[in-house]
Amino acid sequence: MHNKLHTKLILAAGIFLSLAAHADNIKYAYNLPPSADLQYAIKARQSGLSLSGDATVKWLVSGAANEQKYSVVTETRAMLVGKILDASSTGIIDSFGLAPEKFTEKRFRKAETVTSFDRTARQIRFTESTEKYVIKGGEQDRTSAVWQLIALARAAGDRFKAGSEWNFLVAGRRDADPWSFKVNGYENLRTALGNMETVHVVRAPPPDAKDQQLDLWLAPSLDWYPVRVKFEDADGDYVDQMISNIKK
């Protein structure tokens, strides 16, 4: 049960050697949010059982304006079993926004996996498979993708509105897929930090896919930080992260 649970805490997610091609990514305007540490309370339902825990996300931007770097480090714990997930994304800032160089993930009782963005060879590589993808600019990993979306939202103004879609290629542990985030609209949300107006964004997998749906609630009044993050499977199992504290 615990192995299945920690898989749901991030978006899960080859065999043959290939150099996969994909369409050119769109170059959106972006505005990076300030560095911050975010804490979340977690509620989950797994096979009919209710579980709880906590998560931390450390978002950091450093360096001079023309040599900026970023890092996102997440840690997730569940009651009774302790730490069940460590994930990190590190890289630089380029004309597309976040440009990952390394994505790591350590799941409960499993070896760490590494996804490398080799910007010299212009290839994405995986320790979990022999797949390779051409880097064209704008590609993300499953940890950086949310923060890239936040940077786009901060720059988009009125264009980040209900019905708008924001797309980029996202690499996971063993391959990469195109992701499309659709803006649902504004919603009021009650949190430990008070009631706030949020923008609800959904990344829904294709109808024939088994991937999870990802829902994000971004708070414009709090630099567009994600104050709620929810992963949900087709069978109704879910992990729901609600903000409990933000420290800048």
The helix or strand, by DSSP H or E, that contains position 151, with its residue range, turns out to be helix 144-156
The domain 2-247 having CATH identifier 3.90.1150: the answer here is no
pLDDT at 16: 32
Q: In the Cβ-directed half-sphere of 23, how many Cα atoms lie within 13 Å?
A: 8
Q: Give the CA angle between residues 61, 66, 67 to the nearest 5°.
A: 55
pLDDT at 66: 87
**For the chain, counts of helices (H) and of strands (E):** 2, 16
Domain boundaries defined on the chain: 2-247
pLDDT at 15: 28
DSSP character string of 83-101: EEEEEEEEEEEETTEEEEE
Cβ count near 169 (within 10 Å): 22
pLDDT at 237: 81
pLDDT along the chain (248 residues), means of 10: 49 37 79 98 81 95 94 91 88 98 90 96 96 96 97 97 96 93 97 98 77 92 97 82 97
pLDDT at 144: 98
pLDDT at 12: 36
pLDDT at 131: 95
Cβ count near 103 (within 10 Å): 27
φ/ψ region of 224 (left if φ > 0, alpha if ψ in -120 to 50, else beta) reads left
pLDDT at 211: 72
